[in-house]
Amino acid sequence: MYSFLFKYIIIGDTGVGKSCLLLQFTDKRFQPVHDLTIGVEFGARMVTIDNKPIKLQIWDTAGQESFRSITRSYYRGSAGALLVYDITRRDTFNHLTCWLKDARSYAHSNMTIILIGNKSDLEQKRAVTYEEGEQFAKENGLIFLETSAKTAFNVEEAFLQTAKKIYEKIQKGDFDINNETFGIKLGAPQSKTDASSSGTGGTGDKAQGGCCGK
């Protein structure tokens, strides 16, 4: 079991390698011919932060405009976001502002966002410099990494750094753990109290019964 469950969302233009990043992280493989994501896909993996088992539950979204509304509904309840662009396609970098705006307006304000310049293996086709990416991240208060879903370069780090940041925020007491809209859940032992307090229709005596149960 896990101590915490963090929900992530991966966003960015279509074709930047979001699904590949997820697959590389969860399955440790690269599948070059990948179906276009239709809607939202899902992956999960256990990691360890500060010696605690943490489950990462990751939403991989479709980048296309037509799915934007579906995607938006997943922002809520995400603790972390991976905002991905393709270093070989400048347009994907240019769209970052739009994505960031979306994220800021649909997610809770304390969502941890990491900017990822993917396909770093295609150095010869690079269209966005590392410095540009870094600069954008800095301006917007994001973590920044260049990765390659193909070679797995920095993939692990991207997910882990985000998790660390979220964990730090929890330690600082930035979140109400019991509020699921933050995309963080406590592990099984606390599930009862967790469920009782989040139950909207729950009346006082019911909640008490739940607590005293075991």
Partner 1 sequence: MNNWKRFTFFDKEIVKESVKDKDEPSIQKLSITCTTSGRGRLIIGDQEGFIYFVDREFRNTSFQAYQQNVLLLHQLKERNFLCSVGYDDKSYGQASVLKVWNLDKTDKNDNPLCVRAIKLEKAISVTCIAVLEDLSQIMVGLSDGEIIAIRGDIFRDKTIKQKSIRQPDSPITGMGFMNTKGPSQTGPVLFAVTTTNVLTYYTAPQFKDQESVIDDEGGDFGSFIMSDDGSPIIARTDAIYFYNIDGRGPCFGFQGIKTKVLWFRSYLVVVGLENSQANNALFPGQSFGSPSQQNQINKNNNILNIYDVKNKYIGFTDKFDSISHIASEWGSIFLFSADGKIYQLEEKDTQTKLETLFKKHSYLVAIDLAKSQHYDNSSIADVYRKYGDHLYTKGDYDGAITQYLCTIGQLEPSYVIRKFLDAQRIHNLTSYIQALHEKNLANANHTTLLLNCYTKLKDVKKLDHFIKTDSGTFDVETAIKVCRQAGYYEHALFLASKNNRHEWYLKILLEDLSEHRKALHYIQTLEFEEADKNLKKYGKTLVSELPDETTRVLMKLCTDYQPIPTNDLFGRPMTDTLSTVSSTVGLGTKLKAAPEEFIHIFVSQTEWLVKFLEYMIQQNNDSPMVYNTMLELYLREDQQRGSGSDKKEKAYEFLTNPKAKFDQDHAMILAQVHNWKQGILYLYEKLELFNEIIEYHMENNDYEGLIRACKKYGVKDPNLWVRALSYFSITKQDCKNEIVEVLANIDRDNLIPPLLVIQILSQNKNTTLEVIKEYITRRLSQETLQIDKDYSQIKQFADETEKMRNEITDLRSNAKIFQQSKCNFCQSPLDLPSIHFLCSHSFHQRCLSENERECTICGPNNRRFLEIKKNQSDSAIQHDQFFKSLRTSPDGFTTVSEYFGKGILS
Ligand X SMILES: Nc1nc2c(ncn2[C@@H]2O[C@H](COP(=O)(O)OP(=O)(O)O)[C@@H](O)[C@H]2O)c(=O)[nH]1
Determine phi and psi for 167, rounding to 5 degrees: -60, -40
- When CB distances are held under 5 to 8 angstroms depending on the partner's kind, the choice from Mg ion, ligand X, partner 1, none that residue 199 binds is partner 1
C-alpha–C-alpha distance, residues 68 and 70, integer Å: 5
- Binding flag, residue 154, ligand X (CB under 6 A): no
- Binding flag, residue 28, partner 1 (CB under 8 A): no
Largest CA distance in the chain: 66
- Figure out which of the listed residues 42, 91, 125, 129 binds partner 1, where binding follows CB under 8 A: 42
Give me the DSSP letters along 188-204: GGGHHHHHHHH-SS--H
Q: Which helix (H) or strand (E) holds 100?
A: helix 96-106
- Figure out which of the listed residues 4, 5, 19, 183 binds Mg ion, where binding follows CB under 5 A: 19
Give which of 122, 127, 152 is closest to 25, Cα–Cα: 152
- Binding flag, residue 37, ligand X (CB under 6 A): yes
* Nearer to ligand X among residue 150 and residue 192 (C-beta): 150
The footprint of Mg ion (CB under 5 A) covers 18-19, 37
The footprint of ligand X (CB under 6 A) covers 14-20, 32, 34, 37, 63, 118-119, 121-122, 148-150
